[in-house]
Amino acid sequence: MTGNRIGDYGFLADGRTGALVGRDGSVDWWCPTRFDGPSVFARLLDDNGGHWSIRPEEDFSVERAYLDDTLVLRTVFHTDGGSVAVTDALAFEPGARGHQIGRRSPGLLLRTVEGLSGSVPLTMSFAPRFEYGRVTAYLTVEGQRVTTTAGATTLTLTASVPVHRDHIDASARFTVVAGQRECFAVAHSPTYDAGDGQAAGPDVPAALADTAEGWRSWLAHHDYRGRYRDLVRHNSLVLQGLTYAPSGAVIAALTTSLPEQIGGDRSYDYRYAWLRDFSLTMRALWVAACPDEAGRLFDWVAKSVGRVTMEPVPIMYGPEGERDLTERALDTLAGYADSQPVLVGNEAWRQRQSDVLGEVVDAAWLLRDYLDPMQESVCRLLHSLADQAAATWHLPDAGMWEARDAERHYISSKVGCWMALDRAVRFGGRIGGAHDVARWAGARDEVRRAVLEQGWNAEVGAYTGAFGSDRLDASLLVVPIAGFLPANDPRMWATIERIEQDLTEDGLVRRWDGDPATFFPCSFWLASCLALAGEHDRATRLFESVAGRANDLGLFAEQFDPRGAGPLGNFPQALSHMALINGAWHLTENAPGGVPAGVYTSTEGERK
């Protein structure tokens, strides 16, 4: 396996897909067609999965950062002989600005090497392996141009230095001195629509500068003025990087099959759009003061979900709304640190997860001013989600942790149904008639009574994960965030304190007792609950401690092993970044002295 650990990677994005660049200058993950497409670089999951590296020949140390307000990465390598900077980006279409970035990205990976001091010998290794390492491409080298083709995929590498064939791959050795710059680009194109490619290669410095301006123009629409402004702005960039721009779908994570435990079998494909992630991202982007595309994004959800019946609403979709995400194991990749299985697809698409009904309706309520006038498709969607919540809330489901063993009566799922019904009642005549509203209100009250009566476990002294269970579960932290109970309600506060006492290790929260690693989103949710309970100092300390566990580029995986393995799970993980943004807002909204002037309120959706 590559020497990079999960937390060693930087994230590049272009609105259709993303790439991971290690601290050693190696691009070890890229699926150039779209987020869930087949890989051409997958050394992240197997040494033979393909890579593209540029690095000094000598020993080096590294410092790196994104260019201000962008996902353009600058890595500085320091050697005994001098220093060089490598700048990496996935290109936007030329001139794309604001909310148009990423709609027609060209599939172009850009890299420059700039001498900062002294003289530094470097090596470049270009070793693509198509379709998750299954295919070694035909490769031809003509001077400073390399073409690789296999099946439907063609990659064209152009370089400003001579490139040589190295058996089935390509390589180069070159030296950069202070003030010198060398440029590289890899372009993806469909084999049978490739034409002649860009024979001379793109103008890499110009494309890098244009892409940086594209990111900055998007972020300029975000006017967040609450606490942790720089953190919120950066995390909103990451969420935008995980958004499939043509449809607006929010991808749960860039990768597949990064394990929750080294050597364990809990590894999944997260390169799809979960309704839960969509709705929480909408809330996070609203907090970051960018609700501009609410109508378009809700229209995507309506088109993806389609006509809702009493069958479970699918919880996840492909980036363009694809429904069938059947799971299969790959035998071509050994897995990160030999952790199997390596999967494409995710069988959770077949599950019932009732909480997503409420997540979507709640996001619509939060953004109701931006959905006015409401599209007919969105109105029908919200009406039918409320109907399904009223008719099915009493059924067991797989829960937000996507249990594959059995369905249970998870409290977080009941609260999600309550949230769908509560927000539908608030919408009132905008989405239903008087009879509908009365029916939803009656079902909402039934759900509330059931949770309060059956969810509390007197022996445990807390609400537990499911009716009749004695197992503490950090999913209960969503209860006050959803507004079902105030955080300082005696039983709710007892639950929060038990979670903090029994499920926290080194300042991070596990989802349940025995969870192999702590879970970043739950850790931020705990900070939110403390803030909602008025424990501002405790909330602040916890929030800042969890935020400090991001890697040096401010990126979060799904989980963290405080006992040595570090970040675990797929990376970067949208849910972790959403939870940080929403946690920052809860700390802002519940701060002593109230909300600063000029920011949004999370309850009214209007400027204060």
> 480-534 pLDDT, tens per residue?
999 999 999 999 999 999 999 999 999 999 999 999 999 999 999 999 999 999 9
Question: By residue range, what is the domain housing residue 174?
Answer: 6-217
Q: Strand pairing of 164-166 and 243-244?
A: unpaired
What is the structure's pLDDT at 290? 67
- State in Å, rounded, how far the first CA of the chain is from the last one: 52
Reduced to 3 states, what is the DSSP secondary structure of residue 140?
A: strand
Does residue 607 carry a pLDDT above 70?
Answer: no
Judge whether 554 lies within some domain.
no
What is the structure's pLDDT at 136? 84
Judge whether 299 lies within some domain.
no
Bond preceding residue 521 cis, omega within 30 of 0: no
What is the structure's pLDDT at 606? 37
Judge whether 518 lies within some domain.
no
Reduced to 3 states, what is the DSSP secondary structure of residue 537?
A: helix
Q: Which residue has the tokens 């599209």?
A: 375
Query: How many percent of the chain have pLDDT more than 90?
Result: 82
DSSP letter at 398 equals: -
Whole-angstrom Cα distance, residue 335 to residue 266? 12
pLDDT tens for each residue of 126-142: 999 999 999 888 899 99
What is the structure's pLDDT at 300? 84
Whole-angstrom Cα distance, residue 52 to residue 60? 18
Average pLDDT of the segment spanning 382-403: 96
Judge whether 212 lies within some domain.
yes
Average pLDDT of the segment spanning 164-169: 93
Average pLDDT of the segment spanning 375-394: 94
Judge whether 589 lies within some domain.
no
Q: What is the CATH number of the domain that holds 171?
A: 2.70.98.10
pLDDT tens for each residue of 571-585: 999 999 999 999 999
Whole-angstrom Cα distance, residue 333 to residue 43? 9
- Any bridge partners for residue 157, and if so which? 146, 186
What is the structure's pLDDT at 1? 45
What is the structure's pLDDT at 593? 77
Judge whether 202 lies within some domain.
yes
Are the CB atoms for 577 and 235 separated by under 8 Å? yes
The amino acid sitting at 563 is R
Does residue 309 carry a pLDDT above 80?
Answer: no
Judge whether 514 lies within some domain.
no
Reduced to 3 states, what is the DSSP secondary structure of residue 328?
A: strand
Judge whether 363 lies within some domain.
no
> Would you state the structure tokens that stand for residue 581, as one six-digit string?
């943004």
> Would you state the structure tokens that stand for residue 396, as one six-digit string?
């067991």
Mark 253-271 as b/e (b = at least 16 C-beta within 10 Å): bbbbbbbbbeeeebbbbbb
DSSP letter at 123 equals: E
Average pLDDT taken over every residue of the chain: 93
Q: How many domains does the chain have?
A: 1
pLDDT band at 596; cut points 50, 70, 90: low
Whole-angstrom Cα distance, residue 437 to residue 429? 8
Q: Which residue has the tokens 């400073």?
A: 144
- Any bridge partners for residue 479, and if so which? none
